[in-house]
Structure 1
Amino acid sequence: MTNHALIVVTTTHDTEVRAQALASAVVRERLAACAQLYPVGSVYRWDGELRTESEWRIDFKTRAELGDRLAEFIAEHHTYDTPEIVGVPVVTGSAAYLDWVNAATAH
């Protein structure tokens, strides 16, 4: 496998429509090659209360060097006060897919 210094950045949104809009905006800006959306159940503490909510998780595949710009874009376009923005390194993958992520995020 080829080392391409890629990351997966994850966030969540409260509705499928908002998640889809954010995913489309990010990919349109070439800050990620693709975004995958799926429903999740979240349990978390906010303002001193334990909460359980349905949310939409979005996983963005991108180059590591775009991580900070992607995080800023998510924060600017998100409706949450404190959105989850977490990036993890991709440690392996098919060379063809990793090459595609690089090409799809190049300007």
Structure 2
Amino acid sequence: MPMPVLICLSTCPDAASAERIATVLVEERLAACVNILPCLRSVYRWQGEVEAADEALLLIKTSAEAYHALQARLIALHPHELPELLAVEPATGLPAYLEWVAGQTRPLD
């Protein structure tokens, strides 16, 4: 049975920071793949005020084993004071894909 896979969601304030974070996470084997969805509009409450911002959404595929290191790295890389990071475990998936994600997020020996 494949290792549990997580899909993590995080927004970035612009395409440049999204690309930089995505690249580092994959290079450091904290994510197998990161999709960048541009042109997202977020409306949220921050410090008592309702705000809106154009952002890019990262869909980060990782293993449960790599999640805590990914979380720490995302916090270090992200330009926001409080970055969004939500992780969900898919109910199912193509077994070969799940194995690929697990394999790509294992440290190299």
| Normalised TM-score (structure 1) | 0.93
* Residue aligning to 2:90: 90
Aligned residues with identical type, % of pairs: 34
Q: How many matched pairs? A: 106
Per-residue CA deviations over 1:1-25 (Å, capped at 9, x if unaligned) read x553110111111110110000000
Aligned partner of residue 84 in structure 1, secondary structure: coil
Structure 1 Cα separation of the partners of residues 55 and 86 of structure 2:
16
Q: Does 1:16 align with 2:10?
A: no
Q: Is the 8 A contact 1:8 1:90 kept in 2?
A: yes
| Normalised TM-score (structure 2) | 0.92
Structure 2 Cα separation of the partners of residues 90 and 21 of structure 1:
26
Q: Please list every run of 5 or more consecutive structure 2 residues that lacks an aligned counterpart in the other structure.
A: none
Runs (4+) off by over 6 Å: none
* Residue aligning to 1:57: 57
Q: Does 1:36 align with 2:35?
A: yes
Q: Please list every run of 5 or more consecutive structure 1 residues that lacks an aligned counterpart in the other structure.
A: none
Query: Aligned Cα RMSD in Å?
Result: 1.1
* Residue aligning to 1:99: 99
